[in-house]
Amino acid sequence: MPFAAVLFDLDGTLVDSLADIGESMNKALAAHGLPTHPIERYRQFVGEGVEVLTKKATGDHPTLQPAVLATYRGLYSDNLLGNTVPYAGIPELLATLRKLPIQLAVLSNKPHGPTQRLVAALFPDVPFRAVYGQRPDVQRKPHPEAALHIAATLGVNPSDCVFVGDSAIDMRTANAAQMFAVGVTWGFKSRGELTEFGANSVIDTPHELLDLLRGDEHERRAATL
C-alpha cells in the first residue's frame, strides 16, 4: 500500500448529519425568538465547529449566541442519531479498508463527545485507531495540530497519510499537515471549493478511494514535490 493511514472527516464525509444539525439549531433559534433557516442553508454553516455554526445561524444577534449555543448542545445531544446515517458505499468502503494493511482514524470539528458517540453507534465494528472531535485544549481544523497528533499516535509520517474530507477546511488541514488531500463530492460542499483549497484528488464515490489507495497517486504526487 502506498499509504500507511487514512484520516476521515465525519460530517459530510462518513455520515450525512445535516438534517439533525439543522433541525436542532432551528429549534434552538426558535426557542430564543430568532428566525430559522432552510436545512440546505446549513451546508454553508457547518465545518468550523459548533461556535462558528451558532454565530452563522444567529446572524445579527450576537448577544444571543451563548444562550442559543447552550440550547443547541442539549437538543443536538438528544437528536444525535435521529436522521444521521452513513453515506451510501461508506460501510462497504470501511469493511474493505479494515482488511487492508492501513490504519484508520476520524478527525472532526464536531465536539469530541458527539463525535465519539456517532462513530461508536454507526461504525461499531470498524477498528479506528483514533477518533477525535473538537477538544478545548487542541486547535480545531484547519490548524494541523490534531491531524499531526493522530499521525504521531499511529506511528506514521504525515506524508504517508491520506486526509479525506468534504470541505475547504479539510483540504487546508491536509495541506497544512503535509498529508494527501482527498476531497469527496457527496458531502456538504462543492467540487469547486475542494479544488480551490488544495485537493490533491477529488472523488465522486467511496469506491474511488480504494482505487486511489491501491494506485500510484502517492508516487505521482511525490514526483512533483
Cell of 23: 433541525
Distance CA 98, CA 86 (A): 16
> What is the three-class DSSP state of 156?
coil
The grid coordinates listed for 145 are 495540530
Q: Evaluate whether 140 touches 134 at the Cβ level (below 8 Å).
A: yes
What is the rounded distance in angstroms from the CA atom of residue 137 to the CA atom of residue 118? 21
Give the burial class of 21: count Cβ atoms within 10 A of its Cβ; 0-12 exposed, 13-18 middle, 19 or more buried: buried
- Separation of alpha carbons 50 and 58, rounded Å: 12
- 137 included as an active-site residue: no
Given 9, 16, 20, 166, the catalytic residue: 9
φ/ψ (deg, to 5) at 59 = 60, -115
- List, in order, residues 6 or more apart from 31 with CB less than 8 Å away: 68, 71
Query: CA 182 to CA 32: how far, in whole Å?
Result: 39
Which DSSP state fits 49? -
- Separation in Å, CA 158 to CA 10, 95, 98, 214: 19, 24, 20, 18
Please list the active-site residues.
9
